[in-house]
Amino acid sequence: MYAIIDIETTGGKYNEEGITEIAIYKFDGHTVIDQFISLVNPEKPIQPFVVNLTGINSNMLRNAPKFYEVAKRIVEITTDCIIVAHNASFDYRILRTEFSRLGFEFERQSLCTVELSKKLIPDQQSYSLGKLVRGLGIPLSDRHRANGDAMATVKLFQLLLTKDIDKNIITETVRNTPKRQIDNKLLNLIEVAPSATGIYYMHREDGTIIYIGKSKNIKKRLNQHFTNDNRKSKKIQEEIVSVTYEITGSELLALLKESEEIKRNKPKYNRALRKTRFNQALYQFTDENGYINLKVDKADNRKKTITTFANRQQAKAFMHRWTEEYQLCQKLMGLDSSKSNCFNYSIKQCLGACIQNETVYEYNSRVQQLITKNNFQNQNMILVDKGRSIDEKSVILIEDGQFKGMGYFNLNHQIQNIDILRTIITPMSDNRDARHIIQSYTRTHKNIKMIKLQNNE
């Protein structure tokens, strides 16, 4: 659990500043579950440059609560939380100083989004909050006011969690979160899990990830894990102390993240090397008459494939579907072994490529349409799917036929500007598994929106 904080102060000498405004968002890594926002009477003058910067003046604070009047609420909302702030050393120091004046020792773990951003989003022109979030396309209102800056930090931190592909943030969080001995451990883990699409990570006490999975309903899937009585499930049930999760909104993104992170983290109870998700592939060759033929065969990494399939049955089903959709010849699709015309020509569903009654150009043009739609080679495009909330979309970036990564956006200008798009994308590995996941998913889910990018972008 995180308490994302922004504080405005009076300015002045080190450790003599007073708080003029504070905003705290309690954030579970996915949504804001509580918040506290208040002006604070610092009982001391505000430096003129601070008034000009924030717009907060002494008249505005005359009737605001003093710090001791809001201290209890601050303690409550930050209990068992890690403090997160942009330049956390400043905000955390100010809080500790104010509590120290009250004779109270305020101690929390802290994370700095400046340091995290430098590590996870390198090469930015500036890491000041305003310039950084503007460069990432994150909305920011009421700059230099606690509420606006804190909410922008929430959005930034959410992006950083997504980009933290090594899961260092959540691993440290689990390690530093106070452990409680509770009854019905597994029931409690299920109770707090979301009924949403995403990735879940099972941790043992030291924070180590022991299992990674994906589900369209995380709560339901955990219930299955914890009620199974097979050997692996029983071992997981004994070792697990915590479950963290990442809501993806899109099942496609969940599939990609699951594949990537199992390879990266090699959890104890996932198979160390997962079996390939596919064993059949679609290939093309040109026959002696100049017609492009399509053929399904065993997947071979040494050969250039158009697309891949989980098994031969699935491959044949799509070959029949495409034959009808594109009016292709059964013989040239490997579905008819007769020596003369194919069966579809007899019922006028084939235009005669099998007996050279259709021109090579016309037939190959339709075959090429099929290939282009099902193969990303040399293509630049983005795939847009639903996001984690109503006002958000997920995006997958493909450049020069390579899967670059995925991310989320709220505003159209974030995907219309290729530089911002590349920045908000979390880089991921372009491998055979990832390409198979994308191609097979887009074949069967028509709700995925494909937007072609110009090559010169």
- Under DSSP, the state recorded for 447 is T
449-452 β-sheet, strand order:
426-427, 402-409, 393-399, 381-386, 449-452
pTM over 0.75: no
**β-pairing verdict for 292-298 and 307-309:** unpaired
Q: Which of 163, 185, 208 is the last residue of a domain?
A: 163
The CATH number of whichever domain residue 220 belongs to comes to 3.40.1440.10
Q: How far is CA 106 from the centre of its chain?
A: 34
Q: Which of 116, 137, 163 is the last residue of a domain?
A: 163
Regions of the chain short of the pLDDT cut 50:
179-183, 272-273, 456-457
Residues in the chain: 457
Co-location of 386 and 316 in the same domain: no
Q: Which residues of 130-153 are buried (b: 16+ CB within 10 A; e: fewer)?
A: eebbbbbbbebeeebbbbbbbbbb
Co-location of 44 and 147 in the same domain: yes
The CATH number of whichever domain residue 63 belongs to comes to 3.30.420.10
In a domain, 198, yes or no: yes
- The pLDDT of residue 273 is 44
Co-location of 412 and 367 in the same domain: no
Co-location of 139 and 56 in the same domain: yes
Co-location of 149 and 218 in the same domain: no
Co-location of 51 and 199 in the same domain: no
Helices (H), 298-431: 312-325, 343-346, 360-374, 413-416, 418-424
In a domain, 297, yes or no: yes
In a domain, 203, yes or no: yes
Co-location of 109 and 227 in the same domain: no
In a domain, 457, yes or no: no
Q: Are 214 and 177 in contact (CB under 8 A)?
A: no
Q: Which of 374, 393, 420 is the last residue of a domain?
A: 374
- The pLDDT of residue 1 is 86
In a domain, 89, yes or no: yes
- The pLDDT of residue 304 is 84
**Max CA distance (Å), the chain:** 96
**Number of structural domains the chain divides into:** 4
For 250-289, give the DSSP string.
SHHHHHHHHHHHHHHH--TTS-SSPPPS--EEEEEEE-TT
Q: How far is CA 341 from CA 136, 322, 328, 335, 336, in A?
A: 58, 19, 13, 12, 9
In a domain, 275, yes or no: no
Helix 218-227 vs helix 231-239: angle between axes, to the nearest 10 degrees?
Answer: 110
Co-location of 50 and 157 in the same domain: yes
- Cα–Cα distance, 85 to 91 (Å, whole number): 7
In a domain, 172, yes or no: no
Co-location of 358 and 390 in the same domain: no
Co-location of 32 and 118 in the same domain: yes
Co-location of 190 and 63 in the same domain: no
- Domain of residue 416 covers 381-452
- The pLDDT of residue 105 is 79
In a domain, 171, yes or no: no
Which residues are paired to 112 by β-bridges? 85
Co-location of 306 and 217 in the same domain: no
